[in-house]
Structure 1
Amino acid sequence: MTGAGRDFVRSPDGGSRKDRMVIAQISDTHILARSSDQAVAAPRADNLRRCIADINRQGVDVVVHTGDSVHHGTAEEYAHLREILADLEAPLLLIPGNRDRHGALSAAFGHLSYLPRNGDFFHYAVEDYPLRLVALDSVAAGERKGVFCARRLAWLEETLAREPGRPTVLFVHHPPFDIAGHYVGGYRRPRDARDLAAVVSRHPQVERLLCGHVHILHRAQWGGTVATTMPSVAVDLRKGADGTIEAAPSYLLHVASGAGGLVSHTRVVTH
């Protein structure tokens, strides 16, 4: 993992808060190559840099990127992305979105030990924190919509069954539920989303499902737990952005405490 990281966030009085854990979520950064002449290239890089600077001030334990990290999946874009993300002080967890390319992503971030080195999807579990973090890959080559085949489902079922008493957070790019007026039928086969919900519903230790892809903030009851999406860090692609504070870069903080549950906050970066 990149960055020195922290095992636990510190309380405002400077004391160790071993009953708390803070996850920062970024998504849909859609970074372009440093050499790109597109007008949105520099603003997108700046959006991400501003979020990273703010994240570094929050005492975050881990940063999760829920996909579409770059826009075309090229090696040059991933090199630019890696350069920007190098400023993160907390460990980074990545999953692909439909804009990402598995081979190029793993080549650029091969130093991240958790990323699978082979196979056609990136599923993995991180056991280093009070919350168990489980990454799910909903991407198939050449497919914009989500995919969750029988092999992916079986991996998730087995992984969750190994730790039935441990609070767990899942993250995946494509939300496996509809958002009226914004996102309907997001999986290539509707049964994929239904089967994923059925697996999760059998494992009550799942505290949250974190998603990207839709570029808006949304919360839903799904699969016996709570699922959330977030606005795109790439402000020019954000749904509903109107040039006001809503168009400023933003990310989510998810805070777990010993009291149970996960509380989410939107951080709008105005500086």
Structure 2
Amino acid sequence: MLIAQVTDIHLGFDRDNPGEFNRQRLDQVLRALIEGPNRPDLLLATGDLTEYGDAGSYRRLAEAFSQCPFPVWPAMGNHDDRANFARHFPNVPQEEGFVHYVVASEGRRIIILDTLEPGRHGGAFCEVRATWLAARLDEDAHTPTLIVMHHPPIEAGIDWMNTHPDEPWVQRFAATIAGRPNIAAILCGHLHRTIAAPWQGTTVAICSSTAPQLALDLRPMDTGQPDDRPMIVADAAAYALHRWTDAGFVTHFETAGERATLAKFDERMQPLVRILMDERPA
């Protein structure tokens, strides 16, 4: 199974502009997925789908996703609005007021979580959501399972966007998934950077955004002393491809856009390819 991931689209940052920069970047990524050599079986959109949570931006997002010849499964981020989202994505399940649901495919399960708490920038995972997740995990303790959520539960080191490991929602989430060996990975967004880390017996993989990225600066930040460090940078629009087989879960991070080809599989490169592939067991 090949799973694509986009995140932190922030559509509508430039209000009421259908040709805005963030839409252009999203379209660039979708073209790479639709027209490129690695067309996925499905696409996960892991939150901050819009900038302001307005209905018009969700309408434009639904239009953008409508060109995809594969299913798209969205999650909520801190910039999202559940009610406006539901108006334009009526087929995405909601339970108990949360956009959390299970996608089953090819003998595997994907559990999409809702970590949105209106008015809060960081993540949330209340008792209601914990009870729901525990029930979904308990009902099938053996099928390989992927957990998808916007907010990473790890402390990544970018001070102004960090998640503290002692936050109650992190502790509650960790307790809910503890002792679950069938969790293949946890996929997140939010940090606008490519990051991977071991956590709670599995791997947290964080995808870079289709919108502009966070600058990598791991120095502590003093909120009382602005130091002119870069915070947002215009790196290329990014996405991830997760290859999920019986052998395990492998993630590739990629950017969209034109690039120079320095070598291709032609007669000049054919001998090298043969040598490399002949070294493998038959």
The count of corresponding residues between Structure 1 and Structure 2 is 240
Alignment of 1:50-69 (within 5 A): 50-56=28-34, 57=36, 58-69=38-49
How far apart are residue 185 of structure 1 and its match? 3.2
Matches within 5 A, 1:1-271: 21-32=1-12, 36=16, 42-56=20-34, 57=36, 58-110=38-90, 112=91, 114-116=92-94, 119-182=96-159, 183-185=161-163, 190-235=167-212, 237-240=213-216, 247-258=235-246, 260-271=247-258
Q: CA deviation at 1:34?
A: 8.1
Per the TM alignment, residue 166 of structure 1 is displaced from its structure 2 partner at its CA by: 0.5
The structure that has the greater radius of gyration is: 2
1:213 & 1:131 partners in 2: Cα distance? 25
Q: Deviations over 1:188-228 (max 9, x none)?
A: x7122012112212211000000011111111111210001
Deviation at 1:33, TM superposition (A): 7.4
* Corresponding residue for residue 12 of structure 1: none
| Contiguous gaps of at least 5 residues in structure 2 | 217-231, 259-282
Report SS of the residue matched to 1:208: strand
Q: What SS does structure 1 have at the residue aligned with 2:137?
A: helix
CA distance in 1, matches of 2:187, 2:214: 17
Q: 1:242 to 1:98 in 2, by over 3 A?
A: closer
State the TM-score, normalized to the length of structure 2: 0.79
Structure 1 CA distance for aligned equivalents of residues 256 and 198 of structure 2: 28
The AA in structure 2 aligned to 1:54 is: A
**What is the percent sequence identity of the aligned residues?**
26
1:219-262 CA distances to partner (integer Å, 9 max, x unpaired)?
11112100011111102x4434755xxx111100000122x211
Q: Equivalents in 2 of 1:35, 1:68: separation in Å?
A: 15
The CA RMSD over aligned residues, in Å, is 2.1
**Residue 79 of structure 1: CA displacement?**
1.1
Aligned to 2:20, the other structure's residue is in SS state helix
Letter of the aligned partner of 1:153 in structure 2? A
Q: Any stretches of 5+ residues in structure 1 without a counterpart?
A: 1-20
TM-score (norm 1): 0.82
